[in-house]
Structure 1
């Protein structure tokens, strides 16, 4: 795993990969990078922690990245069909504050494979329980998991004391995304899940408040 950054510059210019079938439990080496807009608390930024650990390569704002880029300006949703692109050219994430997304010049980044993440819930201490508001490491791990690099995803999450909670909250949904063949199917799975959650919440709201049974009333009076 420590070879990720060491091989970054060498792998960045690769045009293709002739890999054999890779197991979900096998660690795979590919470039991992980040554009940092310096909008987050450096003491709490998971991306900067990964950079200090040499597990992610900081990019300059105008520096082009040829792999998959996780960005709010993505063209489509990440899916298993992106596996070969990541294996050949790597994956990058945009590190910016969710509160400042609209004023961040994300569109100026040089990307060919911009990707969105499907519905997932954050487990990081700042945004715990909030949908979509993932930290850098959560976003990277989610993408790795969905395309089939599950061992890599766990490796990155394990660098944080709360990292396991991300899989505790999302593993069932991540497994469903990982079974999809393309971006369109991932979106369908996401929408079906959200519809089921909405229907479940509506059903609970519509349930009548039944009065206590006779036995419960008797117990309360003793």
Structure 2
């Protein structure tokens, strides 16, 4: 599985999970989007339809700080996809919706696209990886292997439940 990281060097190097994945050999650095590009500004949610892109071309994550993120950082080639609602397990954004670290986003994408073993291998590289999984276990299971429209329906149900609707 090819995993790429675009690093804008805006993150604290000690907390930078993208750099960690490169160091550990899970990912390679790049300066352009390749395959599925994880993009929180995309209107298209990742779904099982993206499996072939993942297998043939790979997955790219943009490593930047949530405090300074702009839409321009995500303007690149590739198939832009966003993740559905998930909650951060990392200490910086713990339990915040949609505020995942690069590592969490990659792991979640792999899980949704049914690459569970690699997803867990990546999560296990950080102390709080299990926390991310425990927070999102049921949600990840409900998204796993589903088409975009099904995932968006599940996401809307979760959001409605949070809002108390």
TM-score, normalised to structure 2's length? 0.94
Q: Among 136, 155, 163, which residue is 2:102 paired with?
A: 136
Give the number of the structure with larger relative contact order, counting CA–CA contacts within 8 Å between residues 6 or more apart. Answer: 2
1:105 and 2:72 are equivalent in the alignment: yes
Q: Among 108, 115, 119, which residue is 1:149 paired with?
A: 115
Q: Report the 3-state secondary structure (helix = DSSP H, G, I; strand = E; otherwise coil) of the residue aligned with 2:125.
A: coil
Q: Among 29, 36, 41, which residue is 1:58 paired with?
A: 29
Gaps in structure 2 of 5+ consecutive residues = none
Residue in 1 aligned with 2:60?
Answer: 92
Measure the CA separation in 1 of the matches of 2:55 and 2:74. 25
Residue in 1 aligned with 2:152?
Answer: 187
Give the superposition deviation at 1:73.
Answer: 3.4
Measure the CA separation in 2 of the matches of 1:149 and 1:108. 27
Measure the CA separation in 2 of the matches of 1:42 and 1:136. 13
Q: Report the 3-state secondary structure (helix = DSSP H, G, I; strand = E; otherwise coil) of the residue aligned with 2:69.
A: helix
Residue in 1 aligned with 2:20?
Answer: 49
Residue in 2 aligned with 1:79?
Answer: 47
CA pair 107-170 structure 1, distance change in 2 beyond 3 A: closer
Measure the CA separation in 2 of the matches of 1:48 and 1:34. 8
Measure the CA separation in 2 of the matches of 1:198 and 1:34. 34
State the number of aligned residues. 165
Larger radius of gyration: 1
Q: For residues 7-22 of structure 1, what are the structure 2 equivalents within 5 Å?
A: none
Measure the CA separation in 2 of the matches of 1:91 and 1:152. 13
Gaps in structure 1 of 5+ consecutive residues = 1-29, 203-222
Measure the CA separation in 1 of the matches of 2:33 and 2:99. 25
Residue in 1 aligned with 2:136?
Answer: 170
TM-score, normalised to structure 1's length? 0.71
| Structure 1 stretches of at least 4 aligned residues deviating more than 3 Å after TM superposition | none
Q: Report the 3-state secondary structure (helix = DSSP H, G, I; strand = E; otherwise coil) of the residue aligned with 2:105.
A: helix
- Say whether the 8 Å CA contact 2:7–2:63 is kept in structure 1: yes
Measure the CA separation in 1 of the matches of 2:52 and 2:75. 25
Q: Report the 3-state secondary structure (helix = DSSP H, G, I; strand = E; otherwise coil) of the residue aligned with 1:69.
A: strand
Deviations 1:152-180 (A, max 9, x none): 10010001111111110001001111142
Measure the CA separation in 1 of the matches of 2:116 and 2:145. 13
Across the aligned residues of Structure 1 and Structure 2, the Cα RMSD in angstroms comes to 1.5
